[in-house]
Chain A
């Protein structure tokens, strides 16, 4: 645990009693774009849950403005309402005035991590998350422990004995979110550095293998590479690539996130690829914002913007490429869940539906409240378990109401959250796994059809 949220600099505050200092505060011009119309309220998950102005996007924007003016200091109230934001960006989609809320909340969170003293337990818990998740090596070791816990029947024992009830809510959530761990998956060799195109290559694509994705959803990475190769792409997965920094950006750990962004840019620039493809919505949205994240770094600003411009979600790329590989019928009823970082942060809602609906035999159904976050939201379900729990149950209810054979989501966080709340009622897969199944003519993972 060598990292901290930011280098400990002490820039002066914006004004007396201001919540923020002069180093990248929430920009005044973006704050001023908000006309307080309230169109964001029904889109906001926490407003839906609690009906409170200060836990709505326009309320949070107003708190930021008060923080700038020095009417609110960096106190528990301000931090509490910013921590409660899922960062789902549903408000960005809903906003008629085009307020860039993402830049406001990210700037505010970075200020919080730099200027606010969290309780020791909170600090420890957050540091533990960042010591583990963005580091596949450590995560793998930790999961071997989880495998033992599950394999030796300790989980069943702990659940029976009611031991979990005595854990703090956050640790209970960590336990509950643990997917069933397979040792083979943990000890697997990982994604090959190069998967050649089938037939004539038409594009050279870099694959982001991710941190959590690589360890817990290696099969999604494998499916992505197979599908891209079948569609005529040379797939390069640079072995030296690390985490993209998304979890850190969303939590305000600005400096570590910037360091990871630089390293990833180096890795993909060296690989010489036309397109960088992600199969995790949170990673894609962060990489598409690299230009913004590194705008004031003279060595990286241009390269960051260039990488952002050639980053695509896998479903975007599949709609760009004319299908080449024949598809077999898959015959499943599919519920598609919009990952917020795809639908709202990247504005990608049509493409995954087009990809799925284009598979022979797929019956695509829509969920109620498709705009609403499932509560996963990066590390949100770990640090804010109660609202995440309510949202997860609500989303699972909507899924079950559509009686699908499989639920499909394009983000590992959503997949874990929904797998937990669906509790075996409906299997969960990534859209690319359905495409893979159709191309190979094999059953969809987990789905009985």
Chain B
């Protein structure tokens, strides 16, 4: 329970619509984009400006009550999973673009502004915001900062951390501070960089200075079909070895193609074993040269069909299809776990073959979407309503993440660790690594109030069974109920 004195204080900070205590309303905040993990928040507050956020955090600190910041709730690692006895701070109403500074190619935004809104707002100046997570129509800049989000075009342009100049944050004791001075390499420790990807465990972000880029002069996109992901993987290696730096190289396997095509009607070949989307951008002459080289390399690697999507509408449909890959999975399966492993690109064939074997063994379907250029694999483990199947799916998803580590890769490329993969962290890091991370965290948040139970494994977290919500036997018998 959240202390009633704290609830009273919160009520005085936010407007009448900004405090949510009703059980049914709170339940709509019980999960983010990863529905396998659910917990009803103690209360939800929806502040409208940075000052209210600071007051809310200070009040939580006074009452020793945990709090979790949440953006649009599209995260895929349960990073915004609420604390059942804590305060969930929804930042959706901090959605103003405070300043656009085209001369210096930067913009100051609040954390609830969506990723795409930034590019739309600065578009008239010929500028855009480069990181493009697939959920960019809805995901918020605050969430992007917390997760250090990537996206298809991060291969060439880098992750969120390469595009954030400075941050205003509220520390876990309620103090408002600026980190970074907007310069390329400010003196002293890069505390700004520490916040990027900290998954909301160090502070709550309230304002962000973003770096903007000029729109490239030209863009060329092709879609190449292959008999299997292994052959497509060979093409990717050949492209990288040839020294071409594409803006994006994306791969989808057949199951993913089915879902994306059903959504976007982008003209993906439904019978292809794998599709590779390669995009180059920059000066027009460079683009023409690079895309010709890419096409030749794809043909050498055995591409059965190559299509150029140079018409802006056609290109938009290709990307709409690719970016809806997770969201469109509902067409194939009502539920899924999505993984976010990173593997050395050269291990792709081996990795996918092993995943296929593991999936067969578990009797489950796995669709694969792959940021092929930087080795970031997103296997989607599909499962149904059967609780037993859900459990097998959760196990398989974890085993796939750990397989990536075994192959010399990583548990997560861009989705974060959150609650979902915290218990797998010891698979990747030794005790002393984890201890150092814990000390960094304590330096910011000595009392462990700021998004607790995320990222770092805790005995409480890892002692419980993760995975989808399963009613307790007493709950089923009607003796107890979920709060």
Contact = CB atoms under 8 A, between A and B. Distances in A.
Interface of A: 16, 29, 32-39, 41-42, 50-54, 59, 62-63, 66, 71-72, 75, 77-78, 94-99
B326 A62 contact: no
Contact of B331 (A39, A59, A62, A98): A98
B277 to A, nearest CB: 17
A35 B325 CA distance: 12
A39 B324 contact: yes
B385 interface: yes
B90 A51 contact: yes
Interface in B314-349: 324, 326-331, 334-336
B93 A51 contact: yes
B17 A50 contact: yes
A40 to B, nearest CB: 8
Contact of A98 (B73, B92, B262, B335): B262
A32 B72 CA distance: 21
Contact of B263 (A42, A53, A98): A98
B24 A78 contact: yes
Nearest to A62: B28
Contact of B27 (A32, A33, A66): A66
A53 B28 contact: yes
B108 to A, nearest CB: 20
Given A51-B92, A98-B263, 14 more contacts: A32-B335, A32-B385, A34-B330, A36-B35, A37-B135, A39-B137, A39-B327, A42-B114, A42-B138, A50-B17, A66-B24, A71-B482, A72-B23, A97-B327
Given A33-B330, A78-B24, A52 B336 contact: no
Contact of A96 (B72, B73, B139, B328): B328
A162 B90 CA distance: 40
A75 B24 CA distance: 10
Contact of B33 (A36, A59, A71, A99): A36
A52 B324 CA distance: 23
A53 B330 contact: no
| Interface residue tally on B, bucketed by range | 35 or more
Interface in B82-105: 90, 92-93, 95
B138 A97 contact: no
A99 B90 CA distance: 25
B368 interface: no
B29 A97 contact: no
B46 interface: yes
B109 interface: no
Nearest to A75: B24
B330 A51 contact: no
B330 A97 contact: yes
Given A35-B35, A62-B27, A41 B331 contact: no
B299 to A, nearest CB: 32
A41 B72 contact: yes
Contacts of B29: 53
B334 A32 contact: yes
A97 B328 contact: yes
B274 interface: no
Nearest to B95: A51
A85 to B, nearest CB: 14
Nearest to A59: B28
A51 B24 contact: no
8 contacts: A32-B385, A35-B336, A42-B114, A51-B112, A63-B28, A94-B137, A95-B327, A97-B328
Nearest to B321: A96
Contact of B135 (A34, A39, A72, A98): A39
Given A72-B27, A96-B263, A33 B334 contact: yes
10 nearest A-B pairs in the assembled complex, by CB-CB distance: A97-B330, A96-B327, A96-B324, A37-B327, A51-B92, A32-B334, A96-B328, A59-B28, A54-B28, A53-B28
Given A50-B17, A96-B328, A36 B24 contact: no
A35 B327 contact: yes
B25 interface: yes
Contacts of A98: 262-263, 328, 330-331
